[in-house]
Amino acid sequence: MAEQDAVFRRIGWRILPILILSYGLAYLDRVNISFAKLQMQSDLGFSNAAYGFGAGIFFLGYVLLEVPSNLLLVRIGARRTLSRIMVLWGLASAAMVFVRDEQAFYALRFLLGVFEAGFGPGMLYYLTLWYGPRRRGQVMASVLLAGPVAGIVGGPLATAIMTASDGGLGLAGWQWLFLAEGLPSVLVGLVLFFHLSDGPDKAPWLSARERALIMAEMAPDAVAHHPHRFVEALRTPRIYGLALSYLCMIAGLYAVSFWLPTLLRTGGVADTMTVGFLSAVPYVVAVVAMVLAGRQSDRNGERYGYSVGACLIAAAALAVTGGTLGNLPVSLAALTVATAATYVAYTVFWTIPAELLRGTAAAGGIALINSIGLLGGFLSPTVIGAVRDATGSLQGGLDAIAAGLAFGGLLLLALRRRSRPILDVSMSTAGRAGE
C-alpha cells in the first residue's frame, strides 16, 4: 500500500498541477465576461437581455461539439485534444477585444464555446485513466477546485486589470481584461502538448513496476474487462436523468458566476475594486466545502447523498438571496452558502458517471451528460437577464433557478432509489445479444 501510495503521489505531482491550472484558465475565460460587463455594457450600449444571451450562447457552441470532441479524444489521445482546445479558446477569448456590437459579441462567445467543447469532460475522462474509485472523488475535487479558486483570484484580478489599464494604448479596461486572460491559455495549451502522457501505458516516466501498481489499483474498476461502447450510454435512460439533474446544478452555478458582480452592485457596492474583492468571498467558502466533501465522499463511498443534500441547501440559499437583494450582508451570506453548496453538488456528482461507465462509453457518456447539462449554462443567464429587463429585479430569475436546483436534487434522489449499475445492464444486454 505504501509503495502504491508513493506512485500515485508521483502521478499527482506530474499531471494535477497543469490540469488544475488549465481548468482555472478555462473558468476565467468563460466567466470574465461578468466583470467586463461592468464597463462593457455601458460602453457598447448592451441591454441586460443582450448580455445574458451573449453570456449563455457560449454553451450552445460547447454543446454542439462536446460529444464529437470527446470521442475524438479516445482516438487521438488527451495530449493532442486538450492542447488543441486550449490554444483555440485562448485565441477566441483574446479576440473579444474587437467586439463593437451585439452580433460580434454573440459570434465570439459562440466560437469560444465551440473551441472549448470537450475540455471539462475530456479532462475528467483522462483522470479515470489514472485513478481508480478509491481515490477518484478527492482527485476530481482537487481539479474541479480550480473553478472556485479561479473565482477567488478572478474577481480582484479582473477588476484590477480593468481599473489600472483603462485607456492604455487606446483600449478600454474590459478589452485589456480579455487580452490578459486569453493569451495565457494559448501558452499553457502548448505546454500541455509536450507535458501530458495519454495514459499510464504511454508514460515514459513510469517504470514497469509502477504501471503494474497502477493497474492493480484500477482492477476493481474494470468489470470483466468489458469495453463499453458509446451506443450503450445513448440507450441508457439513467444517463439522461443524470444529465437533467446536472443541468439544474449548472444553471445554479452560472447564475452566480455570470451575475455575481451585478448582484453586488444591486446590493449597493459602487466601487469596482470592492466588487472584485467581495466576489471572492463565496468562492473561498466553496473551496473549503469542496475539499471536505470530496474527502468524506471517498471515505464512506457515498456519492448521491452529498450531491442531493447540497442541491437542496443551494436551492434554499439562492431563494433567500433573491429575497434579500437590498440587504448586502444577508444576501452575500446566502449567496455564499448557495455557491459553496452548488460546487459541492457539482463536484461529487462527477464521481457517479465515472463509476458507471467504462471505455468509449465513459468518454462519450460523460460528454453526453455534460453537453446536455451545460444547456443550463445557456438558460440561466438568458432567463435572469430577460426577467431583469422585464421586471427591473433579479429576484424572479433567481427564484426560478432555485426551483430548478431543488428539482435537480430530488431527481438525483429518485435515480439513486432506482439504482442498478449501468455496467451490469450493459453486460447483460451484451450477453443477450450474443445468445
62-81 pLDDT per residue, tens:
888 877 887 788 888 889 99
Residue 74: count other Cβ atoms within 10 Å of its Cβ. 17
Task: Return the CATH number at 9.
Answer: 1.20.1250.20
Total number of domains constituting the chain: 1
pTM score of the predicted model: 0.72
Give the pLDDT confidence score for residue 418 in this predicted structure: 57
CA 405-141-241 angle, to 5 degrees, is 40
Residue 29 has which C-alpha cell? 475565460
Query: 398 with 406: CB under 8 angstroms?
Result: no
Nearest partner of 106 among 59, 63, 55, judged by Cα: 55
Which pLDDT tens digit goes with each residue over 182-212?
A: 999 999 999 999 999 998 988 999 898 888 8
Q: Which pLDDT does position 185 carry in this prediction?
A: 94
Residue ranges in the chain whose pLDDT is less than 70:
219-235, 354-364, 417-435
Write the CB contacts of 293 (distance below 8 Å, at least 6 apart in sequence): 141, 306, 310, 344, 347, 348
Residue 12: domain span? 2-434
pLDDT at 295: 81
Q: Which pLDDT value is given to residue 92? A: 93
